[in-house]
Structure 1
């Protein structure tokens, strides 16, 4: 299913938001196999998140987590399968890949396997140089542009 929304007016009046528009366009496309295994995404606070994936039957060595730029990739592949003759095979232990788009400055701070659940802790940490700063305005009005002695204060000091 393709999105019928035309984002071209936004491209004309914004700079640097290309990634957001691409995400919106791609969100309408079917995800296919991304529905298995089931998962939850939980917001724990202003800047903390948790991804929980049901991986019953997978050992720690069968799972891999990769943090790429703006992407969290979780892969599971059951290795060392024995040739067994199943009378009933109801456990879905097939390989999977989950891809989660991450906002800028979101990092993985912890991952653990607990009772068949893979729990991945995420945190958004904005670097100091990107945080809002308060700009002090100085001068008497007699200074020429470029000669003024404006001071930059840290917003936390104000």
Structure 2
């Protein structure tokens, strides 16, 4: 039994629908295979991140980077050519197989660019929190009015 009923979680929380949805995705087995292609996630600044995928053998025209509903999806499809189909391999250790890799992005994280260099696909991300959601300091005032003295 790989199914967990999260209905009580939905009833007792407000605003955590997305968290429950992510838990549903993890437990349902929709997660991609963890091994291919290998990737790194690094923090490059205060609110900047970079995902690097090893995509050796794929050209820019065979890769697709898409963001939809806070999910970053990287897909690759190798286009079979007549020359490649005519090759006879004695050993084939480089897979060159297509893949689809998904990354769940946090709120307010946007993709700022993608670059293919030396077989590595670099996807730069930036977290842009709106001013209305940033923490702010509230001045505390006292209940007494300044300048007035009560004499008794």
Q: What's the TM-score, normalizing by structure 2?
A: 0.76
Pairwise CA RMSD: 2.6
Higher relative contact order (CA 8 A, sep 6+): 2
2:53 corresponds to which residue? 53
Bigger Rg over Cα: 2
Aligned-partner Cα distance in 2 for 1:78–1:121: 24
Q: Which runs of 5+ in 1 are unaligned?
A: 142-158
Q: For residues 48-95 of structure 1, what are the alpha-carbon distances to aligned partners after superposition, in whole Å with 9 as ceiling and x for unaligned?
A: 211111101111111110111201010111114321222221111111
What's 1:20 paired with? 19
Moved over 6 A (4+): none
Matched, 1:91 2:90: no
- Pick from 104, 109, 114: which aligns with 1:106? 109
Aligned residues: 140
- Structure 2: tracts of 5 or more residues without a match: 145-152
State TM-score, norm by structure 1: 0.74
Contact 1:55 1:116 in 2 (8 A): yes
